[in-house]
Structure 1
Amino acid sequence: MNHKDMVIKVQQQMPAKRWNHTLGVMQTAEKLALRFGADVNKALIAATLHDMCKHWPVEQQAEAIRESGEWLDILDYDKQLWHAHAGAYVAARDCEVTDPEILDAIRYHTSGREHMTLLDKVVCLADYIEPGRDFPGVVHMRELAEHSLEEALIAGFDGTIQFLIEKKQIIYPLTVLTRNDLIKEIKLKQQEVIE
């Protein structure tokens, strides 16, 4: 399926507000990919498809996850995470996406994962900071994104974790592991500069 057809398919599945968000993520992912050297085409495809299942009924999302036979543990956590895993599966099934890097960028755009690829970081951060987002700390994240994907993502995950703690919500363990891994990555880079 070509990108134009993907755009049409995704746009038909969501309300105008969510489509505007998707357009913002596409625009931001392209900028971040150019800034940090990621594959722009892959970033655009992943950004286009990242929320394709967001407005599906949760049972339909769960059904897609069960049908995939993978990452079933996500069903034990917040339903807000499900659309990413369902989306990766549906992108492969319905949009003929075969590139595992694109599918992973879709799958992990909400939670992150340890050892995130450059594409993972670009799509995840684009989802956080696209122009339509307005939450405490987003301006700071955009400033950090001028020079570091990792620092901006840590700020995003810190905010997400703090929000979940304040709401007494369960935190998906992979989000904490992702944050810790990004901190290790930054420290390792700093250590390499010193040496």
Structure 2
Amino acid sequence: MTREEILQQLRSQVKASRYKHCLGVEKAARELAVRFGYENPEVAALAGLLHDYAKEQPQAEYLRLIDMYGLDEALKDWGNNVLHGLVGWLKIKEDFPFIAQEHPEILQAIKTHTVGSSTMSMLDKIVYVADYIEENRTFEGVDEARKIAQRSLDAAVAFETVRTVEFLAKKRVPIYPQTIETYNAYVNALTAVEE
């Protein structure tokens, strides 16, 4: 597929503001890949571009994917914020079969971009962080996150995960267990950067 065909397909799946965000994550992922020496910045950029491809799918589509691919039934208890990564990567696999064939690492990065993982690859970290710091983000703390991301991917993963856990805890909503595992795996990286 050409870039324009990929963009056209993405535009057909998400609203304009989400499309703009995806372009921002594409740019941030490419920049992080170059900064930290990832072997293929264009692969990182494509993962960033498509990370939210399934974000606006109806719940019924997530349920179909869970059933069709035999995923853990417990996923059905979670909402879009978790499912668009943990399940949405399968929608990308269906709609962009060349990615599954040529770059399965993109699907893995998209799968983990919402909840992280205790064993993230460099590409996983790039997409996870790029989603948080892309240039269109304006929330409190994003400038600090961007500064940390200039120095250390691990510390940036830790910072983002700490902020996510704090946010969800304040809202008194359940936190997906893999997010807690991510926190535990990376929190020391943040402490090391702050010292």
| Same fold? TM cut 0.5 | yes
Q: Would the aligned equivalents of 1:141 and 1:152 in 2 still touch at CA under 8 Å?
A: yes
Residue type of the alignment partner of 2:178: L
- Give me the whole-angstrom Cα distance separating, in 1, the residues matched to 2:3 and 2:178: 30
Q: How far off is 1:64 after superposition? A: 2.0
Residue type of the alignment partner of 1:133: R
Give the number of equivalent residue pairs.
188
Matched, 1:16 2:20: no
Show the counterpart of 2:183.
Answer: 179
Show the counterpart of 1:31.
Answer: 31
TM-score by length of 2: 0.89
Deviations 1:63-106 (A, max 9, x none): 22322223543322333111113321112111012132111101
Spell out the pairing of 1:77-116 with structure 2 (5 A cutoff).
77-96=78-97, 97-98=99-100, 99-116=103-120
Q: Would the aligned equivalents of 1:25 and 1:126 in 2 still touch at CA under 8 Å?
A: yes
Q: Would the aligned equivalents of 2:29 and 2:48 in 1 still touch at CA under 8 Å?
A: yes
Show the counterpart of 1:193.
Answer: none
Show the counterpart of 2:148.
Answer: 144
Q: Would the aligned equivalents of 1:6 and 1:48 in 2 still touch at CA under 8 Å?
A: no
Unaligned runs of 5+ in 2: none
Q: How far off is 1:124 after superposition? A: 0.6
Change (3 A) 1:134 1:47: same
- Give me the whole-angstrom Cα distance separating, in 2, the residues matched to 1:173 and 1:8: 35
Deviations 1:117-170 (A, max 9, x none): 000000010001111112121111000001111111111111111111111100
Show the counterpart of 2:59.
Answer: 58
Q: Percent identity?
A: 35
Deviations 1:163-186 (A, max 9, x none): 1111110000100101211235x3
Deviates more, 1:91-100 or 1:157-166: 91-100
Change (3 A) 1:72 1:108: farther
Q: Would the aligned equivalents of 2:129 and 2:157 in 1 still touch at CA under 8 Å?
A: yes
Q: RMSD of aligned C-alpha atoms?
A: 1.9
Residue type of the alignment partner of 2:141: G
Q: Would the aligned equivalents of 2:24 and 2:136 in 1 still touch at CA under 8 Å?
A: yes
- Give me the whole-angstrom Cα distance separating, in 1, the residues matched to 2:8 and 2:161: 31
Q: 2:121 aligns with which of 93, 117, 122?
A: 117
Change (3 A) 1:72 1:114: farther
Change (3 A) 1:35 1:71: farther
Q: Would the aligned equivalents of 2:86 and 2:114 in 1 still touch at CA under 8 Å?
A: no
- Give me the whole-angstrom Cα distance separating, in 2, the residues matched to 1:45 and 1:71: 27
